[in-house]
């Protein structure tokens, strides 16, 4: 069930009033929102509802066991078992075919035939996201950072449909306390919710879909048929497409949750205005960045073991983060590029005699430009189906200048400019717009929203493509 569809609109128009009607009675609201979330998830494939139910039961059982046991050795075994179950399910559905194919290729390289066949396993939508949220719950209980809650509250937390299929990754301490008491509809920031949903719709339906249909899919699908200029613009276009697509989804998710009375953490903060790769990861998919930091980088040792171990931990975190995005060596390469850049930046800052120079406009602009080029180069591997495709694209970038470039249109360049330029708008601008919108009479607000929907529908292509991050 996609957010920007009539099916979801009908679903949400039924869920929203019923949710508020049942909200004062938690014992009724929780079963209702769990059922609604499972109906939402069943819109993709009802069979995977059993997988979601397993994840809820598995993590809750181990969280309670971890909380009740005092013997540290037993608690470590329980934690290891909980993580094995979570990661085992994720590995089977997401990585089985990848590991089998990689193993077969490795043995074939040395002339050994291994009779292991791939299974063409269908990847359940959102499995990476709710698995990471389940792991966060169990680990927080193990660390005594969070106490387990009742089964109903945890089930509502893990299955809550606004974040279920593509995030943001909401930590237990960020959502479960909100489930403890009924939300008050008088304090719902509807102006912010409608602004987030409206901007999310525009970025997804208009910007992301337009760029995908008019240049990205064609360039990445057959780079040898396009000029160097088209390839260059196509790379920039994909950078904007994936941002607009994922930013648009999470904005809608945050806005929808807000209308239901719940606040999600921010997931993007103008990442293409970053002045370094380190800064980029403080702004891009921030809920994943914090998850990788707290549940992977720090447990690996963080920066506590000296420079070499710190570089190792950074690289391992980004390599695993790349593999989390997709079962393919191109995703590992994407993680390796970012990991190498993070290590290089850390080495540069920590070298003897280093003094941070003051930021001038020119220096800031140069750093932003260089960071954006590194990010865009890494996206080549992220988007390509194989290394051969990625190398073909890179080669074409340098060997076909001067050829006709019919895909480089004013519309494509405008969409790229809007996607990148929107990240340089003043931070106060959305607040000003929301404040002015909230002061409008209700009929005027309805008229503005209707006009925005009509414009988005008119500017968007026919149909709505699936969100990119649904496959992760």
Active site residues: 325
Q: Which residues contact 294 (CB under 8 A, 6 or more apart)?
A: none
Which two structure tokens, joined as six digits, stand for 296?
A: 């992977």
Q: What gap in Å lies between CA 451 and CA 319, rounded to an integer?
A: 45
Q: Verify cis geometry, omega within 30 degrees of 0, for the bond prior to 167.
A: no
Which two structure tokens, joined as six digits, stand for 133?
A: 């949220």
Which two structure tokens, joined as six digits, stand for 281?
A: 């990861």
Q: 52 and 42 in contact (C-beta within 8 Å)?
A: no
Q: 302 and 313 in contact (C-beta within 8 Å)?
A: yes
Q: 420 and 375 in contact (C-beta within 8 Å)?
A: no
Phi, psi of 165 (to 5 degrees): -100, -20
HSE of 443, CA atoms in CB hemisphere, 13 A: 0
Q: What gap in Å lies between CA 75 and CA 270, rounded to an integer?
A: 41
């Amino acid at each position: 069930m996609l957010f920007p569809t009539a099916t979801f609109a009908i679903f949400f128009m039924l869920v929203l009033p019923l949710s508020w009607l049942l909200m004062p009675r938690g014992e009724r609201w929780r079963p209702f929102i769990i059922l609604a979330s499972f109906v939402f998830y069943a819109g993709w494939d009802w069979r995977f509802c059993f997988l979601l139910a397993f994840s809820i039961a598995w993590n809750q059982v181990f969280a309670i066991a971890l909380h009740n046991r005092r013997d540290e050795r037993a608690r470590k075994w329980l934690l290891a078992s909980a993580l094995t179950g979570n990661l085992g399910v994720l590995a089977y559905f997401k990585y089985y075919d990848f590991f089998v194919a990689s193993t077969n290729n490795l043995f074939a390289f040395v002339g050994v035939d291994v009779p292991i066949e791939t299974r063409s396993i269908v990847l359940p939508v959102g499995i990476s996201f709710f698995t990471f949220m389940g792991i966060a719950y169990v680990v927080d209980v193990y660390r005594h950072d969070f106490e387990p809650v009742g089964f109903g509250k945890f089930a509502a937390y893990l299955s809550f449909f606004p974040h279920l299929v593509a995030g943001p990754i909401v930590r237990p301490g960020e959502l479960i306390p909100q489930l403890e008491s009924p939300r008050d509809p008088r304090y719902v920031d509807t102006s912010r919710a409608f602004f987030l949903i409206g901007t999310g719709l525009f970025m997804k339906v208009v910007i992301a879909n337009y760029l995908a249909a008019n240049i990205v899919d064609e360039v990445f699908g057959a780079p040898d048929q396009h000029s160097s200029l088209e390839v260059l613009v196509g790379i920039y276009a994909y950078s904007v497409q994936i941002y607009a697509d994922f930013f648009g989804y999470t904005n809608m998710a945050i806005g929808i949750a807000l209308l239901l009375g719940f606040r999600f953490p921010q997931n993007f903060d103008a990442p293409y205005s970053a002045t370094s790769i380190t800064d980029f990861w403080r702004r891009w998919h921030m809920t994943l960045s914090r998850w990788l930091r707290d549940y992977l980088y720090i447990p690996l040792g963080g920066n506590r073991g000296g420079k070499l171990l710190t570089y190792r931990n950074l690289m391992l975190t980004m390599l695993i983060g790349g593999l989390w995005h997709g079962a393919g060596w191109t995703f590992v390469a994407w993680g390796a590029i970012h990991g190498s850049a993070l290590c290089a930046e850390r080495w540069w800052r920590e070298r003897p005699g280093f003094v941070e120079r003051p930021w001038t406009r020119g220096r800031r602009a140069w750093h932003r430009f260089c960071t954006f080029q590194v990010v865009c180069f890494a996206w080549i591997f992220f988007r390509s189906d194989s290394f051969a495709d990625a190398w073909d694209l890179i080669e074409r970038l340098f060997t076909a200048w001067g050829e006709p470039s019919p895909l480089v249109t004013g519309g494509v360049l405008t969409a790229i400019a809007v996607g990148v330029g929107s990240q340089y708008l003043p931070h106060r601008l959305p607040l000003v717009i929301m404040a002015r919108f909230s002061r409008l009479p209700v009929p005027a607000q309805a008229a503005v929203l209707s006009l925005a929907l009509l414009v988005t529908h008119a500017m968007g292509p026919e149909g709505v493509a699936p969100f990119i991050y649904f496959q992760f």
